[in-house]
Amino acid sequence: MKRVKCIIAYDGTDFQGYQSQPGKRTVQGEIEAVLKKIHKGTDVPIYASGRTDAKVHAQGQVIHFDTNLPLDEQRWVYALNSLLPEDISVRHAQLVDSDFHARFSSKGKEYRYRVDRRKIKNPFLRNYAYHFTYPINMEEMRKAMAYITGKHDFTSFCSAKTEVIDKVRQVTLFEVEEQEEELVFRIAGNGFLYNMVRIIIGTVLEVGAGKRKADEIPKIIQAKDRRLAGKTVPGHGLYLWEVFY
């Protein structure tokens, strides 16, 4: 058996998330259906670096699967893309050692979040950027972002549905770029809790809009209370950008 690692991109608009769910269209379900076809009816499970929610996009999601087919790396790219739907693309395929695991070998991830600041919403961005029209104090928001960077217990910044016990994570990069009438947030770290990125973005946007102060952030972190942080921004502005190994 050979192990194949793939970097995949997908438009999350019409998916109910990455993970397979009965009766729902998912990224995992679509890829596994194609692999089953390529393997003449044999089920081939795939394993991902992590799950993404409904509407969330990916530029650099990583999966792996095991196969007994003698295809080389480039032929895997062609074979998969010829059968996958238009909203999923395999960007790269690589034969890897049998001890590689898309999830457990990961050292960290980068996410990006797009915010559309236009006064009049752009219908062509409705599935790809969060429309947020409040005036933003960039200096104050960046102060809040600096407090987020580092190693913290992020209990206040994750969903109550989070199942893991240890909620300590390290954010190694958190920055925002102004691109014409958009903001693009970049956040990277050694791991992220359920809804953590979307809650962090929602909270710092509230700071930027003057709804709370930047110096509240350390208190919110220390409190370990989800009720003190900001709203969870919508999934359609979020992109899993890169997974690090």
The answer to whether the beta carbons of residues 69 and 39 sit under 8 Å apart is yes
> CA-based angle 31:35:38, to the nearest 5?
140
Q: What is the CA radius of gyration of the chain?
A: 19
Q: Which pLDDT score, from 0 to 100, does residue 50 have? A: 96
Catalytic residue set: 53
State whether residue 193 is helix, strand or coil. coil
Cα separation values, 23 from 28, 37, 51, 55, Å: 13, 19, 18, 17
> Could you list the pLDDT tens digit for every one of the 245 residues in the chain?
999 999 999 999 999 999 999 999 999 999 999 999 999 999 999 999 999 999 999 999 999 999 999 999 999 999 999 999 999 999 999 999 999 999 999 999 999 999 999 999 999 999 999 999 999 999 999 999 999 999 999 999 999 888 899 999 999 999 999 998 999 999 999 999 999 999 999 999 999 999 999 999 999 999 999 999 999 999 999 999 999 99
pTM of the predicted model as reported, rounded to 2 decimal places? 0.96
What's the CA gap between 136 and 102, in Å, rounded? 38
Strands 168-179 and 108-116: unpaired
Strands 238-244 and 57-67: parallel
Q: Which pLDDT score, from 0 to 100, does residue 59 have? A: 98
Two tokens, residue 128: 């790809």
What domains lie within the chain, and their CATH numbers? Answer: 2-96 (3.30.70.580), 108-244 (3.30.70.660)
The answer to whether the beta carbons of residues 222 and 39 sit under 8 Å apart is no
